Structure 1
Amino acid sequence: MIDLSYDFINTLQSEVLRQFGVDNLQPNQCKLLAQAILNHTGKLVSETTLKRVFGFAVTQHSFSRYTLNTLAQYCRYKDWDDFQAHYYKKAFRPRQQADLSRWGEVKKKANAVSQYTMLTLKNRSGIPFDHTAPRQYCLSHIDRFLESQYAATVFIAPAGWGKSLALVHAAEHYWFGKNAVHPQDVCWFINAHAAGSLLLKGFSLSSWLDNQLNLGNGDNFREYFSAHPEEKSGRLVLIIDGFDEIAMGGDKLKLLYNKLEDFVYSNDQHPWIKVILSIRSSTWSEVFQQSQQSPAFRRFWFLGAEMDEDTSTNIPMLTEQEAKSVLYNADFEPETVRLFSDSFLQKLRHPYYLQLFTQLNSAGGQTFIDENLSLFEIISHFIQNRLFSSPNNAFKVSIIEKLLQLLDMGRAGLYADKAALLKQNPELFPAYRELLADNILVEENLSQEIMFNVKVRFAHNFLLEYFTAMHYIQAHGQQVNNELLSSVLGDFPQSPFRMYVFKWLLRYAITHEQTAGIQSVFTLPLATPEKAHLLEYLVLHYQQEGNPRFAQVFPAGYFKKNPISTFISDDFVHFKKRKLLQALLSLAESSEDKLKIRSNLYIIALMQLDAEQCEIELSNIRKICTADEAVRDMRVTPYEAYYFIYEYLKFGVTDEAAKEKIYHFALCWSFPQQKTISVADEAVFRAISFIFLLLGDHQHLVDFTQRLFKEHRSFLFNRTDPFRLMMLCWKAQAHLALNDINTAKRINRHVDIVLKHFSTDFFNGRHLETLQKIIAADIYARENEYNKAVRAGEYAMETALKLDFKIFVLLNFGVLNRIYHHLQMDKQRKEAQQKIEMIRDSTTFAQALPNLMHL
């Protein structure tokens, strides 16, 4: 009576909780409950068993008679039979005739099983179930399946993909929710382990269903209801979750699959019986894939539109909106989520990474969660949970080391041959299957009729980066030292891959307090973007940990030899970087470093039209300029140029003496050949270019930028320098204002190509991309390509608003307003005007709107 149906288990749970005096049981209370049961009955039910009873742990078999008797006795009953007898009479007191039907009887049993299974899966969810989101694709998949002639369907995906929770949401949507779509159907939702406990003893699904009629031997479930359709109120849907070859064993799984296949194929004359299965990709490849070749399989099994035969997956990742919904449910502020980069949101679409991220930031409600730092923590926790905490970790590490060797740390490509990886070593097969099941490795079946070709790769590139870094650490005695760093530097050219390997090495040195290793990382001859990313990670890590050792990592005088200004580029012009720049101020020793940091802080405030913050930064910049003799003797100091911009936007006035000084400097300055641009020079050049733009003196802006590029030929060889690209954008803007569309178009296209080709170098530098798109929209509009103009302009507007680049919003509005007016897009024009009014109300730069929108 008990095995698979779990009759009255939900009732027993409720009675135990009532006796224990709680409404809801938490996992940490199971130990206290076990003691309470022991005190009352004198019998011991372990904490682990109680976790299985209440769904906090996997149940691989039905509960023992001892467990059920003891729990019934705790509830003041003689034993389990006495408990059932009491509630059987209560449940089957005289009711309406409809409730006494055979279909109703089966439905009641199915509900008891399903509710228990769903409770178990909810309690095992890594994210509180009420924070999770229904998967729209899964609901659509089931909807199409239920209305089709197929007998069975399957959800196939790696571990941690959210298959089980997707089934729970679907079950509530279609059969168990308050507004269930198909409330008259019988839904039997079970775990594969529960089914296996019976089926492996010789039962079949057909005979088990027959037994559910409970009317004596010889009744045939399917034939009975087919012969008496008036008693059948809907479909019978059997959901089996968790066909897992690791937990069940490969031979048992194949036996279970054969029984399942027999049941599915025997339903040919009973289309009202449907089977839904969830399975890991690795199990599908191992057990099911061969069956796909038979015509019967294709006729009976619905795989869905998203089926990828190479990777054996038919469920896409979460949509961006589903991922955001989970974050909102977990109390992340919409304003916080809105600030996440597109690339980070793409990673959070992986359900398991989203789970880890919400767990790492369980407090929620923060103004900003640093995505760069979180990504490394997510990956680290993922590998710890799935690899090092596993019983087969030694074999798994051996396989990964072999794969790194075959890939030559990624230099030989991303794929290795499966046969070469395993070399028919049977002791490696279980560990290899676990790596596939846990989504660390992925198989891609490229076999053809005349050859067998299965390739293996890491599931994600950042896993390759992590394991490559760990390989070098292992090879150098777990010490990040000059020898290790030189090896990596020599083995890999400049690339995003190398940068992330160095980040993992830096993280290892930080977490293992290898101060000498940290210092060695920053003495490497790396490109500026690489240094900037590494320095940012270092500062963020110590800020997150609140570690006072941060100031001790770099001894006094360190940054005199290794100036911070060589680490910081225009890529730091981003409001998210303000906290980081403030932290770097505590390390800055030279006036040049301090000026670089303060200039970036001023530009960030200016981009946000934050006049008050601009005043604060101007005060600090003035002190730096006054204290440095070389800066003080410049024809135009950074302070003078920055203050001119501030005064013009604040009051709409120009200091004629300062203006004359700026114009004279732009016309007369010259430098010796090969002289490098100092921090102060760069600040002045940038400010003067913007001043000419504000004043509408586009010819002077063209002349100034042309002379700048002529004087400093090094710009020609440093294509990715953000300062160079910014100057090119202003130059293109000026040419456009002078109606030199061809020159503006050529420059803008060049900037676009550089930004796309070196996108990883501009991970945070969206201001360049935004400005380039504003100029592109203007060019398209002048060439009457209005569809392209709208797309470019609206993309720029969306980015500028998201990143709080208010100056760019105003510049872009001038372009979009003309486009909307020409296309008579009144609704869009009105919405854009409303955003401009919000900016007007948020800034005390009173002259910003009239001076920027009409450039």
Structure 2
Amino acid sequence: MDLHKQLIEAVEKRFGNKISYQRDCKILSEKVFDQTHEYISPATLRRLFGFLKTNSKPTRATLDILARYCGFSHWQDFVENQIKASTTSKSDTPELWNLIITNSQEINHHNIRSIQIKSGIPFEKTVRRTYLESLLNHFVSSNRFALAIVAPGGYGKSTFIAHWYLNNPKVKQQQVIPIIISASKLENYAFSELNIDEWLWSQVGINAFSIPNLKDELKKLPGTVVFIIDALDELTLTGIKLERTLKGIHELSREFSESANTKLIITSRYATWKSLQGYLINPEVWQNIDQSNFNSDNANIPPLSYDEMQTILDNTVNEEKKERLLIFELPPLLRQTISYPFYLQLFISSYGKTNYRNLSDPLNIINEFIKQKVFESIYPEEKADILNALAKEYLENSTPVNKQQLKKLYPINLKTAGNYFDAYHDLLSFGIISEEKVYTDSLGYSTLVSLGNDNILTSLIAQKLIKEYGLSEKLINATKKLFSQNEIYPKLIGYIFSIGFNERKVAFLKDLFHLFLPNNITELTNTLTLCFKRDESLFKELLPHLLINSEVERELLLVNPDLNGISSTYSKILEQVQPESPYYMDSKVAKDYCNLMGLEISHINNSNEWHNNFVMAEQKSARIAGMWFCLNIFFSTSFKTESIVKKALEYYKSISSTNARHEFRESVLPFVFIDKRFSPLQDILVEPLNLSAHQKAMDSIIYEFTNLTKNRNPFSPEKHHQLMQNYSQLNASRSHFVIILGELARSISYFYESNLNDAHTCIRNAIELCGISGYRLQEMVLMNILGQTLMRLGETDHGQSFVSYTDTLSEKSGVKIYSEYFVYGS
């Protein structure tokens, strides 16, 4: 028991602050005099608190005065009190545990503050990642002793560690003591004579030499000490020193596996992790390191979920805005891109500077990333040289570059030969480039270097082709010749089209469409509908020319219509269909279907022209047939409804093509779950159609919705996650209503659990996405459900505001929301 140290702690407690500066000693001297009327000089206090070197112990007189300042009669009274407290205390908490708690607080405070300052998005606006926090909690309670968190730079590794530390109840209750240490400090270990565990404990102010039975003492700890070595990739060591450090981390994981109550977490980028992995001889003590855990970003943690991205958008670009930007309204490729947190940061930082139309293009985000991490970062020329070499090789041979070949061009392996070494490793750490070892039969190997992200690769290739050929027919022919058999070809066409659209090259775009058809029609029409959101006037200028081609017309109208924009893109296309078109009558049915969805009842063709169009529709398009049945069922008189529904079921059964069946289902789906007259059509949604990823995802979401409403069993967290993963598999032009159904299912699930906050968030997402897509009929029904539910829960004013809004929509459209047909509040 160190009684002098305990007295110092008692003095600091009475003083109200830690004595951290020499000026504190002067203030303390004055306070001691005011309290005890006895004087201790500031110089004496500076010696006592270690600001002045001294070999002598404090005098008895000094100890007596300080004891009286702390409320005791004299020094001996203080001593006796401490001994008595020690012997009579019911607590058996080891002194080592208290020391770890005390010393770790200052270390963690400094490192957490550093993480918060470095956060690209203000830390208070970032999001807790509950899935990852549960991963850490599981690790702490598991029989594993080391955990690797691996991801590219800007993936949010340090941010999520900070959130876990600040919000973990076991940390607050001192059952788990994380100790966050910046990996850059390992460089001190590399140049020391200490063992790795001795060095690590010294970071917490514990001299392992003075505790010869440290392993026994660790067994007595009432909780777990978790050392977190953050940002291993920031090490600048090379050669023997780097090897010593990486071996040391392996030894640390082995040491912890043989002791009690100690665990290790490292965060790292992939390239550094692969270097460390070569030294691991006991991988069984590690968690989360199997290669199957790594995704295409070379990360063993998932990217941001839709909920997490939406929360960050609400905390930033949506803050104090009347209209929210919904993550679901962004194109799927953009959603996928900004699930990488650094890309989301770029999106948010650009959002206030440019309009949404430009931001809806994923290419702009990719280019902004390349600009910031290559051309506006350190070593821009060296990075550009390396990337150009990789792009040139891919352009000529569609292959990666052998690292030995790259070394001949640029000294990427020599740290002292210019900046290429640092430039190369910076590109590697951010996942812009990647390495792969390829082994030969003779036990040798070569390292292949490639661009590590398909979007970056496609962007660079597109820019190099345009630089060489310009936006011309030569560019189109060169692209077809070089890449028509390459997997990036469809995406490359889309990028070239998008660049031409942004530069308003109308003649080039017309040529591009005709020269790339018909094999790439889906990619081009998807890109076209996305471009509409960026420049409506150019879209209108191109559209009449494009619709001259019957294949394009059929794709835009029937095969791959933009059902996400029935009041915008799709309606504009339908308006351009000419009477001489073979799809003119189909367009009339589709237009009235859009008007019904948009509650534009007065615009619906009252001549009953579409009533008589069924024979043509039956012959040509199951999608149009589905729309025709929806119109007829909705406007039918009660005694005719049953027969029309029966005819619809018979029609569906007669369809032999899986694709055609899916098209019919997509048409009726928006009505089946809101209008009771359509309920018998739920039977056609049960059949699994597993032809495409879109169909599988849609079937899965419909199944989960119907199963939930039937059995009333709430979703598990994994089920919520799986449901949102399905959103990303949906077709870019026809995803919104399926997402609305998924969000409605999640809302109901949360409601069953009495989680009203998340239930409200999900149904709000569904309602707002209805508004964005033009589904006013479905928006009206869901708003009424929400209003009625809130009123039943006692939120009368809030609920009444929603009900009043639906009453207004009902009155203007003539569609009676309180009709016996509509689902409300059930």
Classify the TM-score, shorter chain. 0.5 to 0.7
User: Which residue of the other structure, out of 141, 146, 159, is the alignment partner of 1:165?
Assistant: 159
Match of 2:810 in 1: 843
Amino acid at match of 2:123: F
Q: Is the 8 A contact 2:313 2:325 kept in 1?
A: no
Within the alignment, does 1:798 sit opposite 2:784 as a pair? no
Distance 1:514-1:690 versus aligned 2 partners, 3 A rule? closer
* AA partner of residue 427 (structure 1): P
Q: Which residue of 2 aligns with 1:831?
A: none
User: 5 Å matches for 1:550-565?
Assistant: none
| Selected match of 2:430 from 435, 438, 454 | 438
Partner of residue 370, structure 2: 383
**SS at 1:239's partner residue?**
strand
What letter matches 2:157 in structure 1?
Answer: K
Q: Which residue of 1 aligns with 2:457?
A: 464
Which amino acid in structure 1 is aligned with residue 467 of structure 2?
A: Q
Q: Which residue of 1 aligns with 2:287?
A: 302
Aligned runs of 1:415-494 on 2, under 5 Å? 416=400, 427-428=411-412, 430=421, 433-443=425-435, 458-476=451-469, 479-489=470-480
- TM-score, scaled to structure 1: 0.58
Alignment of 1:354-365 (within 5 A): 354-361=344-351
Rounded Cα–Cα distance in structure 2 between residues aligned with 1:485 and 1:598: 32
Deviations 1:724-754 (A, max 9, x none): xxxxxxxxx9997238748625346332568
Which one-letter code corresponds to 2:305 in the other structure?
Answer: T
Contact 1:131 1:326 in 2 (8 A): yes
Specify the alignment match of 1:279 in structure 2: 268
Distance 1:81 1:281, change over 3 A: farther
Once the two structures are superposed, residues 242-299 of structure 1 have per-residue CA deviations (whole angstroms, 9 ceiling, x without a partner) of 11167445654333223333444444653233322111111111x222223x2xx235
Once the two structures are superposed, the pairs formed by residues 237-386 of structure 1 within 5 Å of their partners are: 237-244=226-233, 247-249=236-238, 252-267=241-256, 270-285=259-274, 287-292=275-280, 294=281, 297-303=282-288, 308=293, 313-330=299-316, 332=318, 336-337=326-327, 339-340=329-330, 344-361=334-351, 373-386=360-373
State the distance in 1 between where 2:455 and 2:184 align: 34
**CA distance, structure 2, for counterparts of residue 755 and residue 82 of structure 1:** 85
Give the letter aligned to residue 286 of structure 2: W
Q: Distance in 2 between matches of 1:602 and 1:745?
A: 25
Q: 1:291 to 1:492 in 2, by over 3 A?
A: closer
Please tell me whether the aligned partners of residues 245 and 253 of structure 1 are also in contact (alpha carbons under 8 angstroms): no
Match of residue 190, structure 2, among 192, 196, 199: 199
- Quick check: 2:458–2:492 contact (8 Å CA) kept in 1? yes
3-state SS, counterpart of residue 360 of structure 2: helix
- For 1:682 and 1:149, how far apart are their aligned partners in 2? 56
> Residue type of the partner of 1:749?
T
- CA deviations 1:375-394 (Å, max 9, x no partner) are 22221222222333452313
Equivalence for 1:629: none
* Structure 2 CA distance for partners of 1:518 and 1:146, relative to 1, 3 Å: same
User: Do 1:806 and 1:839's aligned partners in 2 also have CA atoms closer than 8 Å?
Assistant: no
CA shift, 1:798, in A, is 0.8
Q: Could you say if the C-alpha distance between residues 282 and 433 of structure 1 is closer, same or farther in structure 2, counting changes exceeding 3 Å?
A: same
2:492 equivalent among 480, 501, 509: 501
How many Å apart are 1:483 and its aligned residue?
1.9
Residues 348 and 787 of structure 1, relative CA distance in 2, 3 Å threshold: closer
The Cα of 1:224 is off from its aligned counterpart by 5.6
Structure 2 partner of 1:744: 653
Contact 1:574 1:604 in 2 (8 A): no
Cα deviation for residue 124 of structure 1 reads: 0.9
Do the aligned residues in 2 keep the contact of 1:578 with 1:601 (CA within 8 Å)? Answer: no
Distance in 2 between residues matched to 1:812 and 1:778, nearest whole Å: 22
- Asked whether the equivalents of residues 189 and 196 of structure 2 are also in contact (C-alpha less than 8 Å), the reply is no
Report 1:225-236 matches (<5 A): 225-226=214-215, 234-236=223-225
Q: Is the 8 A contact 1:564 1:588 kept in 2?
A: no
CA, structure 1 residues 798+745, in 2 after alignment: closer, same or farther (shift >3 Å)? farther
Q: Residues 583 and 165 (structure 1 numbering): CA distance in 2 closer, same or farther, change over 3 Å? A: same
- Could you tell me whether the CA contact under 8 Å between 2:589 and 2:624 is conserved in 1? no
SS of structure 1 residue aligned to 2:655: helix
Distance (whole Å) between structure 2 residues aligned to residue 771 and residue 288 of structure 1: 56
Distance 1:160 1:506, change over 3 A: same
Match of 2:797?
A: none
Change beyond 3 A, Cα 1:522–1:358: same
8 A contact 2:145–2:263 mirrored in 1: yes
Q: CA deviation at 1:439?
A: 1.7
Deviation of 1:125 (Å): 1.0
* Equivalent pair of 2:435/2:450 in contact (CA under 8 Å): yes
2:683 matched residue in structure 1: 778
Does the aligned pair in 2 maintain the 1:155–1:314 contact within 8 Å?
yes
Kindly indicate whether the alpha-carbon contact (under 8 Å) linking 1:192 and 1:241 is maintained by their aligned counterparts in 2.
yes
Structure 2 CA distance for partners of 1:737 and 1:748, relative to 1, 3 Å:
farther
* CA gap 1:469/1:314 in 2 versus in 1, 3 angstroms: same
Q: Secondary structure of the equivalent of 1:291?
A: coil
Secondary structure in structure 2 of the residue aligned to 1:427: coil
Task: State the match for 2:36 in structure 1.
Answer: none
Root-mean-square deviation over aligned CA pairs: 6.0
- What is the CA–CA distance in structure 2 between the aligned matches of 1:327 and 1:351, rounded to whole Å? 12
Q: Is the 8 A contact 2:126 2:312 kept in 1?
A: yes
Residues 1:301 and 1:569: Cα distance change in structure 2 (over 3 Å): same
- Opposite residue 353 of structure 1, the aligned amino acid is Y
Unaligned runs of 5+ in 1: 1-10, 16-76, 409-414, 544-549, 619-641, 645-657, 671-676, 702-732, 757-765, 814-834
- Residue of structure 2 equivalent to 1:541: 534
Contact 1:748 1:776 (C-alpha < 8 Å) held by counterparts = no
C-alpha distance in 1 between matches for 2:100 and 2:431? 38
Q: In structure 2, do the counterparts of structure 1 residues 123 and 83 end up closer, same or farther at CA, with 3 Å as the change threshold?
A: farther
Judge conservation of contact 1:506–1:521 (CA < 8 Å) in 2.
yes
1:193, CA displacement in angstroms? 1.3
Q: 1:134-183 CA distances to partner (integer Å, 9 max, x unpaired)?
A: 33343233323333454432212222221111221222234xx7x73552
**Secondary structure of 2:226's partner?**
strand
Contact 2:125–2:316, Cα closer than 8 Å, also in 1: yes
Deviation at 1:524, TM superposition (A): 5.2
Partner of 1:155: 149
CA distance in structure 2 between the aligned counterparts of 1:692 and 1:111, rounded to whole angstroms: 70
Amino acid at match of 2:183: A
- Provide the C-alpha distance between the structure 1 equivalents of 2:487 and 2:228, rounded to a whole number of angstroms: 44
Over 3 Å counting, the alpha-carbon distance change for 1:313 and 1:207 in structure 2 is same
Cα distance between partner residues in 2 of 1:608 and 1:305: 49
Q: Which amino acid is the alignment partner of residue 277 of structure 2?
A: Q
TM-score (norm 2): 0.60
Residue in 1 that maps onto 2:118:
124
Percent sequence identity over aligned pairs: 15
